[in-house]
Each structure stands twice: as structure tokens, then as C-alpha cells.
Structure 1
């Protein structure tokens, strides 16, 4: 009896995703659909938004959403204090917030993952120095670090991405360093060394493929925290500067109009809540799928 080819024995990525989808509970499925919807809205914001997000019309300022008195036709979620369409600004704000958070999370992954890999493979003084930097980062409140950097370097988009990228890198470094230290004692690493493989080849072909799962899970869990951090900085006026909209800046500006025009805040705040909800549940879902012990149960 001949064995099946390896390519048929292994599940395809689509089959793996379908298997995870079937194992998800109803709340996880709702979170996944919400997350996909938000991503689609962000990607196609220029096509979906009914108006220019920065177009002002003072004669139409503070108009409520459709269905309320004084509502203006075409402005589904009403207008803000300058007569700008809240729906259009929310869509563009969602787009920019997700872009900044994704770039920042990716930068943190690259920085922390590289340092964790170097610490795990190098050991000795190199590992001690990197882990001392990790401990220092954990000990300092990151909000103060972010405020200091933004005060010194300004609040351009490049600086904001850099600040967001520095958030959470220590978590990647700790995870990667721990996984690498554990795998460096395994027989397949010893066999690769005996075959003459250098550190770069071992890292690329043997270590990185085996630490993808915990890194992906950490990426999803940290993404929601970075969204909240960006929203906090924008709320305080230290993020992307007007008239460009982010979800946090819309909430920050709209707080002064909460008693008379709460719809200015409700739409961006709801999007922030949906993002954090979807990403956190997605992270738990991926963690459960990557945990062999949970799958066995």
C-alpha cells in the first residue's frame, strides 16, 4: 500500500481556515465578520464616503442624523461643528486609524522579533543587554514616553508610526527569545548545527517557521492596544493634526459638543469599540487554534 503524497496529507490554508471557522463559537464568528466589515469599509472609504471628509458648510453645521428634526438630506449621520459629514469623516478616520495601527504593530513586531531572535541565539552579554532594555521598557509608563517623543519630534505621521511601533516591542522580544531558547536545545537544531548550518540559516529555516503562531497571536492582541493608544494621543491633540480625521481626534473634538450634538462622538467611538472587540476576540480565536492542548480538548 503506497503512502499518500505529502501535499495531499497536509491541509491546504483554505481547509485550515475553514476548520478554524467551524470551531469558532457564535461570538467569535460575529467578531470575525465585524472585523472584515471594518477592513472593507476602510479599504473602500473613498468609494463609500458620500462627501469629501474635509468639505465645510457652516450653514449646515451641527445637523442631526437622518430621522431627527433639522436633519439634512444626504447626511446619514449628521454633520459636525464645521458642517462636515460625520459619516465620511468616520470612514476616512477609520481608514487612517487602522493604517497607523497596522504600521505601528508591524514595526513593533519587526523590532521586537529581531531583538528577541538575537537574544535567544546570541546569549551572553548580548542577551543580557537586550533583556535589560526589555525590563526598562516594561518599567516605564509608555504614555509618558509617547508624550515625550511627540513633544520633541512633532506629530507628523512618520513620528506617530515610530511612536506606535515602539509600543509593545518588548512583548515580542520576550516571546521570541523564550521560544528560541526552548528550541535551541532540541535535536533538530543540534542536527542542523552538526550539518554545518550557521546562525542565519538556523534562524531562517528552523526557528522562524516554528514561532509564527505565537507571533501572529501577539500581533492581533497588541493591535487593539495600539488602536487605543493612537486614539488616546489624537484625543489629547498630539496625534494627526486637523483637518485630517482619525477616530480619536473626532472623539476629542466632539467631546465639547456632547450635550448638544452627541452624534459627533457616537460614530467614531462606536468604531473604536468595534475594532477593539473584533481584534481581541480574533486574537483569542487564533490563540485557541494555535494551542495544541486546547484543540485536543
Structure 2
């Protein structure tokens, strides 16, 4: 009889993840998947053009309320635009900006923290000096300065969101790398002829995935809030393009008479941050190699 090695399929791995998750984690996963699908399919499922205006239909309440207009499920805004369609396109842009910003921050901070932890010396001194400078300056003021100087294009917004929180990645990666490189198995890898790149990719990076996952989820949520704050102040993506933050910002003046203008985008922001935080803790537990070997 020939022994065979069973290699778990991706479906089996996903099934294991799902079975091990509790009710809150499953709910967060379903919410996250739903939000991503809504954003990806916004062009297909949005009932109207998000920029289409109709002043005779302005400030109509959602379906089921008096004076509602048939076909506008979540009502219309101050220019008669469909709130549901604008929420879908705003969700798409907000998630895209947050993902791009979080990835850029991870790339910058993770690279600098890895270099500082491995090379030590002047590389570490320069990196930590930049980290201290970033922490000392309130980032909102820095963001306002950058946007005032370079405008509010999507490229500038991604860069602003990307440098938000890179110092946290750098500090975490540097501390983890310094701790890991002092362990015996790293010394053994170096003694066996492993170069710096081999040690970093094979032994260091797999052991810092867990804190990076947690920091990425925190950063993603913070970037969603930051983008919404800047858009709320009128310094984010400019109209008529919709993000969740701009919708909340422009709807605040109508809250006493038309609260639905704020409820829909604000609810999406809350759902994004909730699902990302819960999924981050879940993935942290699954990705931590130190937990898997116990």
C-alpha cells in the first residue's frame, strides 16, 4: 500500500477558518464581503447615475415615507441625486483610497523598519528620527498643508493617506526585528551561511506577519476615518465626485430636515471599521506562527 500525502485545498483551508470563527467573526466576514461586492459592482447595481440631478426631486425621503419618489430607495439629496447610487460609488472610492493608503503606509514603514532593525547604526538612527518627527507633528495639520500646497487630486490624496501611520509600521517592525534577530535560530541560520536577505525573507518576515496584520487593520480603519474627516472639512475629494466623507459633510446642514443624507454613508463607515477590526483580530490569530506551533 502506498502512502499518500493529503494537501488541503483552498476550499478546505477556508472551511477550517470558517468553522473556527465565532458568531461575531462570521458576521464581520459576511459584512466585509458584502461591502466589497457592493463596491466592486457599484456600476452594475447602482440604479441611477450618481451625478444625475433633478431639482424637482430634491430632498425626497426614503421609500416608505411620505413624499417619497418611487425608485429612490434611500431618497434623494439636496440636488435630487439618488442617495443609494451615490453611497455605492462613495463606498467604492472610499475603500479604494483606504486600501491604497494602507498599502503605501505598510510599504514605506515596513521597509524602513526592516532596514533599521537589520542594519542598525545610522540607518536605525535616521529612521527613528523621522518617526519621532512624524509623531511630534499633528498629522491633520500636515495633511492640511500638503493638500493646500498640492491640491486635492486622487494622487495627492493617496499620498497623504499613505504617509498617515507609516511611523507605526516602522516602530513595530523595528522592535519585532530587533527581538527576533537575537533569538538562537537566527544565529543558527547565519552560522549556516544564510545571508541577510535570506534571513529576512525566510525567518524574520514570517514572524512579524501577526503584528503587521493587526496594524494594517488599525491603519485601514484610521485611514477611512481620516479620509472622511478631510472630506467632511471640504479638503478631500472634491464634488461632484462622492465619497462617504463628502456625503456626510454636505449632508450635515440638512440633518434636522433630511437625516437620510447622513445616515446611509455614516452607517457604511461604521460597518467598514467594525468588520475590518474584527477580521484583523481573527487573521492575526490565524497568521501568527507562534500560535500555530503551540
How does the TM-score come out when normalised to structure 2?
0.92
2:192 maps to 1:156: no
Equivalent of 1:252, from 249, 254, 259? 249
Please say if 1:147 is aligned against 2:157: no
Do 2:105 and 2:166's aligned partners in 1 also have CA atoms closer than 8 Å? yes
Which of these residues, 14, 18, 21, is aligned with residue 18 of structure 2? 21
Map 1:24-63 onto structure 2 (within 5 A).
24-63=21-60
Give the superposition deviation at 1:130. Answer: 0.6
Match of 2:108 among 108, 111, 125: 111
Please identify, of 192-201 and 96-105, the stretch whose mean Cα deviation from structure 2 is larger: 192-201
Q: Which of 60-69 and 12-21 deviates more?
A: 12-21
Cα displacement (A) at 1:29: 1.3
2:174 to 150, 174, 177: 177
- For residue 264 of structure 1, the aligned residue among 254, 261, 266 is 261
Aligned to 2:203: 206
Structure 1 runs not aligned, ≥5 long: none
Q: How does 1:282-293 map to 2 (within 5 A)?
A: 282-291=279-288
Larger displacement relative to structure 2 (159-168 or 15-24): 15-24
* Distance change >3 Å, CA 161–CA 287, structure 1 → 2: same
CA RMSD of aligned residues (A): 2.2
For residue 267 of structure 2, give the secondary structure of its aligned residue in structure 1.
helix
CA contact (8 A) 2:207 2:289 kept: no
Shift of the alpha carbon at 1:195?
A: 4.2
Report the Cα distance in structure 2 between the residues aligned to 1:242 and 1:70, rounded to whole angstroms: 27
Q: 1:185 to 1:285 in 2, by over 3 A?
A: same
Does residue 64 of the first structure (1) align with residue 64 of the second (2)?
no
Paired with 1:255 and 1:173, the residues of 2 have a C-alpha distance of 37
CA distance in 2, matches of 1:201, 1:152: 42
Whole-Å separation in 2 of the counterparts to 1:234 and 1:188: 49
1:239 aligns with 2:236: yes
- Structure 2 runs not aligned, ≥5 long: none
Q: What is the CA distance between 1:74 and its match in structure 2?
A: 0.7
Offset of 1:142 from its aligned partner? 1.3
Deviations 1:84-134 (A, max 9, x none): 000000000000000000000000000000000110111012111111211
Matched residues, number: 294
Query: Is residue 124 of structure 1 aligned with residue 129 of structure 2?
Result: no
Task: Give the Cα separation in 2 of the matches to 1:89 and 1:79.
Answer: 10
Residue 293 of structure 1: CA displacement? 7.6
TM-score, structure 1 normalization: 0.91
Aligned match for 1:225, one of 197, 222, 225 = 222
